[in-house]
Structure 1
Amino acid sequence: MTNALRAPAPSDRQVGVRIAHSSTDGLLRLEVSDAGSGRPELRHPRADDERGRGLGLVDALSHRWGVTARAGGIGKTVWAELKAPDLLPTPSTREVAAVTVSPGQQIRVWGAWRAIRTVRTARHATGGLTVVLGLDEGPPLHLPAAEPLSVRGLP
């Protein structure tokens, strides 16, 4: 950003900043655009240099970065992408009957989300249908077929 503000350009030119995220990739993209003609260079400043570290920081902290021509042909946009997996959307949760769950889904049980590994049904002693869920942690879970569960994952 500092370089964009210092770039030699006519006084009526503006510096643009754009921040976007891709929930598909878990990336945060930062863009700074200016009307200057220069291209940024990765420098290797000495310990007592007071300038020249900005792009080195971008290079060290980002997943990837680059420079593209600015739309309209005047200047450039310097961009950097940071890994931000916490920006991925959380899977939607819905309530379903135990008998409808499938392996690969997750259910909320014992205060945490647990992945379903196996599903089978059995007859309960009273004649009703019981669903037996094998989970990624803990013992198998035996539930009445109509028991409502909070589920996320595959339909």
Structure 2
Amino acid sequence: MPTCRLLRLEVSDAGDGCPEIQRPAAEDTHGRGLQIVDALTHNWGVSPRPGGIGKTVWADLKAPELVPVPRTREAAAVTVTKGQSVRVGEQWRAVRSVATERYATGGLAVVLGLDEGPPLRLPAATALAVRGWDEVREAER
């Protein structure tokens, strides 16, 4: 059975008053926003903003199996570290080891040992799509 988590959306303004669900006539061109919010969300409400100016209208949506997608960055191969993942073709591969070596012409190569397949040997400046950047940097602190 899938687990549900809540995704909260918030909109703030500096206006006075508290929004209320309207019951507009069929020909009215406004007044349906909170009806839509009420119909589509698990729960919603209004909270005062810190500092006492305005309000925040919030709504919780049920999000089955909500899992944050790791942030992807483009980075030079020479900056990739063990524990990150790189995109190889259409697949993401975990980096198990990182080494450098010199080409016969003198340029620097990066050799990435991956969780599957042969090592990936690239010029150091090659741009790669990388995930896990923030997690690895946080662990280094």
Corresponding residue of 1:95 = 74
Question: What runs of 5+ residues in structure 1 fail to find an aligned partner?
Answer: 1-18, 23-29, 32-81
Structure 2 length-normalised TM: 0.50
Task: Please give the per-residue CA displacement for 1:35-82, whole angstroms capped at 9, x wherever unaligned.
Answer: xxxxxxxxxxxxxxxxxxxxxxxxxxxxxxxxxxxxxxxxxxxxxxx9
- Counting aligned pairs with the same residue, the percent is 58
Q: Following the alignment from structure 1 to structure 2, what is the Cα–Cα distance between the partners of residues 114 and 20?
A: 30
Q: CA RMSD in A?
A: 2.3
Tell me which of 102, 106, 123 is aligned to 2:85: 106
AA at the equivalent of 1:113: W
In the alignment, is residue 127 of structure 1 matched against residue 106 of structure 2? yes
AA at the equivalent of 2:106: G
Structure 1 length-normalised TM: 0.46
Q: Which has the larger radius of gyration?
A: 1
Is contact 2:7–2:63 with CA below 8 Å preserved after alignment?
Answer: no
The aligned runs of 1:17-36 (5 Å cut-off) are 20-21=6-7
AA at the equivalent of 1:129: L
Partner secondary structure for residue 131 of structure 1: strand
The aligned runs of 1:1-80 (5 Å cut-off) are 20-21=6-7
Task: Please give the per-residue CA displacement for 1:81-114, whole angstroms capped at 9, x wherever unaligned.
Answer: x9943x1110111100000000100000032000
AA at the equivalent of 1:153: G
The runs of at least 4 consecutive aligned structure 1 residues that moved more than 2 Å come to: 19-22, 82-85
Q: Larger relative CO (CA 8 A, sep 6+): 1 or 2? A: 2
